[in-house]
Amino acid sequence: MDDPTGRGPAKTGQEDGRKEWATRVEHDRVDSATRAVLLTAARRVFEDKGYARTTVAGITTEAGVGRATFYVYFADKEEVFAVLARQVRDRFVASQELDGVDADDPHAVAEATITAYLEAYDENLALVTVLRHQSLADPAMGELWEEIHGLPLRRSAHYTRRLVERGMASPAASPEAVARAAGGMVAAFAGQGATTPHERDRTARELTAMYVRLLGLPE
């Protein structure tokens, strides 16, 4: 029968209820504590066994849940690894946001940059190693790997060029080479000074001193 109002059939309360339920379930899938437990467990397994030897069964055993629960939140181990890889990417990107640092003080910027980058590496060293290996075979992981390393390198090179233009630095090599050398130093030292806060601080100071020399900053 035609609708005299021209507005189409009215939605029933049952239909509205189904829509609200679906929305709530989707929200719960993203934000639930169970999902966080699965991510934490998956990270431990990937770090311990590497990508190839990690299985869904290994993740669920580590998390203490059944396989059916895993598939509520993730389609497969590739998806859960991708989520973890994006978390690492976001952590490295956030480490370059130096709020509260005087941008006109290159010594302060050098110290803050090196310290934040070292902390990001120390926190994620084991998973970064797995991600680096996986990036060689998986184009999507290769793109994430480029974001993790490419963005800091480009920012660092851009900053060095600005210092040179303002007559505030005389770098030992091109801005791009200095940026790569600094990133390589942090990667080489990551994990070595993570035992105590004192050792971490000493590592950060030594890396900063070397970076300052590479930049050619005046005393």
Encode pLDDT of 81-123 as tens digits: 999 999 999 999 888 888 888 988 999 999 999 999 999 999 9
Domains and CATH numbers, the chain: 14-74 (1.10.10.60), 81-215 (1.10.357.10)
Give the pLDDT band (50/70/90) at residue 219: confident
Token pair of 64, please?
Answer: 């203490």
Token pair of 50, please?
Answer: 């590497």
Q: What Cα–Cα distance (Å) separates residue 167 from each residue in 6, 176, 215, 218, 219?
A: 72, 18, 12, 10, 14
Q: What Cα–Cα distance (Å) separates residue 149 from each residue in 90, 157, 165?
A: 12, 12, 25
Q: Residue ranges of the alpha helices (H) in the chain?
A: 13-31, 33-53, 56-63, 67-73, 77-94, 106-135, 139-165, 175-189, 197-215
DSSP 2: -
To the nearest whole percent, how much of the chain has pLDDT over 90?
Answer: 65
